[in-house]
Amino acid sequence: MPTHFQGDPAQVLALDTFIKLTRAASSVQQTLSQGCTYGDLTVSQFGALETLYHLGPMCQNELGEKLLTSPGNLSLVINNLEKQGLVRRERDSIDRRKVTVVLTETGHALIADLFPAHAAAIAAAVGVLDGAEQQLLGQLCKRLGKGQPS
Amino acid sequence: MPTHFQGDPAQVLALDTFIKLTRAASSVQQTLSQGCTYGDLTVSQFGALETLYHLGPMCQNELGEKLLTSPGNLSLVINNLEKQGLVRRERDSIDRRKVTVVLTETGHALIADLFPAHAAAIAAAVGVLDGAEQQLLGQLCKRLGKGQPS
DNA sequence: TGCTATTCTTTCGATATTGAACATTTTTAA
DNA sequence: TTAAAAATGTTCAATATCGAAAGAATAGCA
């Protein structure tokens, strides 16, 4: 609904930009869902597995920060992955408040199997922009973000 | 997690771009939530009210397309708005499959009250980019979208 | 050392979200 | 004109999501 809103031109532009940004993110997300690149996993579950796959085991707090989700939510997502036997919880023996989440063999095999097609699907979706455009988009987006740690 | 993934450079760039896009959208969304610009409404509820406010009454199907959400979801969101007395359902007398959603006076007054601060908050969040950058970002994002009708 | 504040996780209640099945109504086409 | 197909909403089950409260464990400080 490109801003059927009359007012301060700077605000109109900002709203329009915001809507386009939101829609672009949704749209790519939808394309991926429809492309079946998540297997039988939900988007959240896939994200958790992928992070563990690329960065190794980490405690829930850290994982939650990387996935930009609340502790309560992450707890549920990990529960559901645990039920499927894809991850394992290990209480940290040094700091017993922490719970380290570890991929099981099954989980590792699953994400290793799914990831290449997923990456290809993202590349295809984002590929409507050429390399220079993607870099430009990335830079602009980065400046909008809060500078979450990488 | 800027793509701790080794592989085809084009895929790495695309993944990185995708992550930055997703994070930028989340980040702005979070800034708005924390800025209290949604009042006591959820993001979905606010979106529905705002759309009705700017575009006038419309049937649920049309509203669902504008908000990029499923029929089932929209049905619930409208239920919750109805419970709060902010919208009213009216069965279309010509095509009796359709249900037109209309803002009540209360709903209209609420969104009219909330919207200006919301627009200002968006302008502030997106305002880290200057006008030319916003337009550029908007154009790039638009090309990533599926070209949903406006 | 012992109390207090902080950190990490879980739980709870409410709402959101999707996909699928279903009912109703309209449209299409035979 | 009537039967099949399509469009519109609702409902359901499963998962997600947030905020707030609660529990457990550690860290900091008097």
pLDDT 10s digits, B32-81: 888 888 999 999 999 999 999 999 999 999 999 999 999 999 999 999 99
Residue B7: what pLDDT?
77
Asked if pLDDT for residue A145 goes beyond 90, the answer is: no
B102 touches strand D (CB under 7 A): no
Q: Between these two residues, A111 and A30, which has the higher pLDDT value? A: A111
Domains and CATH numbers, chain A: 35-144 (1.10.10.10)
Residue B34: what pLDDT?
82
Asked if pLDDT for residue A3 goes beyond 90, the answer is: no
Candidate from A1, A25, A133 with C-beta closest to B140: A133
**Closest-CA residue of chain B to A29:** B22
pLDDT tens digits, A72-81: 999 999 999 9
Residue A6: what pLDDT?
67
Other CB atoms within 10 A of residue A23 CB:
21
Residue A45: what pLDDT?
97
The backbone region for A56, taken as left when phi is positive above 0, alpha when psi lies in -120 to 50, beta otherwise, is left
**pLDDT bucket at B85, cuts 50 / 70 / 90:** very high
Residue B59, min C-alpha distance to chain A (Å): 15
Other CB atoms within 10 A of residue B130 CB:
10
**Closest-CA residue of chain B to A140:** B137
Residue B122: what pLDDT?
93
Residues B59 and B100 sit within 8 Å (Cβ to Cβ): yes
Q: Which residue has the tokens 């050429």?
A: A130
CB pairs under 8 A between A and B: 183
Average pLDDT over residues A59-68: 95
pLDDT tens digits, A124-138: 999 999 999 999 999
